[in-house]
């Protein structure tokens, strides 16, 4: 499965890549903000996206809104420190399929990925 990690923190991308690797997901592309991600999704065609919220240039919410104009089905999980209910609702309305609040455990990320893929009718690895 092709997964795109979108986070301005290289440390966080490395942590997520490591967790995903332990879960068997190794086909991973990275982007450092929403603009970078928009420039890569066309060629990479991710099957799952993990998106941070607070990023320079283009934040995660703006990215999801822009991405959903051309792709309404590929699952998107927001992985963010934004923990308020109002933020979660805002993200869901923008087209996010699931939500992980940082800090997270590997088990929680695994659970959210499986939930999301199941809801979208996709099989986990």
Partner 1 sequence: MDPAFIVPFITSIQNVFSTMLQLPVEIGEPAVKVDRQPTFDVSGIIGMSGDVTGTIILSFPRATAERVVQLFAGMSMSADSADFADAIGELVNMVSGNAKALFPTKAVSISCPSVVVGTGHTVAIPSDTPVVCVPCSTDCGNVMIEVALKVNADSARPVVRA
DSSP3 helix / strand / coil % (the chain, rounded to 5): 45, 15, 40
Strands 98-101 and 28-31: unpaired
Question: Does residue 54 bind partner 1 (CB under 8 A)?
Answer: yes
- Given candidates 1, 102, 110, 122, which one binds partner 1 under the rule CB under 8 A? 102
What would the two tokens of residue 39 be?
Answer: 């420039």
Nearer to partner 1, 47 or 111 (CB): 111
Packed helices 34-44 and 60-68: angle between N→C axes, nearest 10 degrees: 30
CB of 62 to partner 1, least distance (A): 14
Query: Site for partner 1 (CB under 8 A): which residue of 4, 15, 94, 100?
Result: 15
H or E element at residue 80: strand 76-80
* Site string (73-92) toward partner 1, x via CB under 8 A: -------xxxxx-x------
Point out which residues bind partner 1 (CB under 8 A).
Answer: 8-12, 14-15, 18, 54-56, 80-84, 86, 101-105
């Amino acid at each position: 499965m092709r997964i795109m990690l979108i986070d301005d923190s290289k440390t966080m991308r490395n942590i997520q890549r490591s967790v995903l690797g332990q879960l068997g997901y190794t086909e991973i592309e990275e982007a450092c903000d929403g603009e970078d991600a928009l420039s890569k999704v066309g060629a990479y065609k991710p099957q799952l996206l993990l998106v941070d919220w607070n990023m320079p240039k283009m934040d995660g919410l703006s990215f999801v809104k822009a991405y959903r104009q051309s792709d309404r089905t590929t699952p998107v999980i927001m992985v963010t420190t934004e923990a308020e209910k109002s933020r979660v609702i805002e993200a869901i309305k923008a087209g996010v399929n699931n939500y992980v609040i940082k800090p997270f455990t590997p088990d929680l990320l695994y659970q959210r990925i499986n939930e999301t893929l199941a809801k979208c009718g996709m099989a986990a690895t």
